[in-house]
Amino acid sequence: NAGVTQTPKFQVLKTGQSMTLQCAQDMNHEYMSWYRQDPGMGLRLIHYSVGAGITDQGEVPNGYNVSRSTTEDFPLRLLSAAPSQTSVYFCASIGKSSSGANVLTFGAGSRLTVL
């Protein structure tokens, strides 16, 4: 099992450009989410999905779009990048542990710089 795979690992954009961060999981998890990590602010939830065709906003959704056409994939789109979106982005696949709680499995992260 590969777990959660994120691409690209690094990306530099100019202000106003668009791009998509890819996330794929092979654990058949229904739930997936995107976080951004910034110094001193921990991880903040951007968007999440409870299953194919269903998405919802997290704590900081502005400037980001998501879709969930399959169980495996959950791409994050930046339609018009801004310097404030410079961050490290983590995708997390959420599965039930043997005890029933939702335990996050994280991808390795994508470091995005917007100039």
Q: Point out which residues bind another protein (CB under 8 A).
A: 31, 33, 35, 40-45, 48, 50, 58-59, 90, 92, 94, 97, 99-104, 106-109
Q: Is 95 exposed, middle or buried (0-12, 13-18, 19+ CB in 10 A)?
A: middle
Minimum distance of another protein from residue 97's CB (angstroms): 7
- Measured CA to CA, the distance from residue 105 to residue 56 in angstroms comes to 19
Strand 110-114, strand 87-96: pairing: antiparallel
Minimum distance of another protein from residue 47's CB (angstroms): 11
Closest among 98, 105, 109 to 31, alpha carbons compared: 105
If the CB atoms of residues 2 and 14 are measured against another protein, the closer one turns out to be: 2
Minimum distance of another protein from residue 10's CB (angstroms): 12
If the CB atoms of residues 5 and 17 are measured against another protein, the closer one turns out to be: 5
